[in-house]
Amino acid sequence: MRRHVPAAIFASLVLFPFCAKTSKTPVPPPFTLTATLNGTPATFNAVITVDSASTPGTVYIVGNSDSANLTPLLEVSLTSNRPLAAGTYSFPDTSGGNSGTLGYTAWRGGTAVQYPRVTDTIVLTTVNANWLSGTFQGTCAYSPDSVVTITNGKFTVGWNQR
């Protein structure tokens, strides 16, 4: 004697594999690096590089606003004596192991002039194996009369966690 499988059971057995959810690796958002410099909004998206291999424990995020001569240039550096994690990275280091610094380079009189950090605060909001994002603010100075105040800074970049 033949048994018949009810249609509902048969349909669920045949269709079940096609209803399974698939898991995709999240795609990192586009690289961005923006800030307000001395009150003027600026983007540094022409060329963005992320280096986590040159100096152990440090990630350098460098963005250029002009791809032809590579300046102005904005650099965000994150240094930690443990794996990067969400939190505040500042200079001077007030967190006991997380240091963050900003650097700015611009053309001045036909020469690339570096403005090293004076005070910086970088807040790392997202850290995973594929990308980093956060905010920053600070001051960089070439001389007492040549200061760049950086506010409203934001970055989102891909990276390879090591």
pLDDT of residue 22: 56
pLDDT of residue 14: 47
pLDDT of residue 23: 57
Q: Which token pair is 38?
A: 């001395």
What's the pTM value of the predicted model, to 2 decimals?
A: 0.77
pLDDT of residue 82: 83
Q: How far is the C-alpha of 14 from the C-alpha of 10, rounded, in Å? A: 6
pLDDT of residue 21: 52
How confident is the prediction along the chain (162 residues), in pLDDT tens digits per residue? 555 545 444 444 444 444 555 556 666 678 999 999 999 999 998 888 898 888 888 899 999 988 777 778 999 999 888 888 899 998 877 667 788 899 999 877 778 888 888 888 999 999 988 889 999 999 999 888 889 999 999 999 987 765
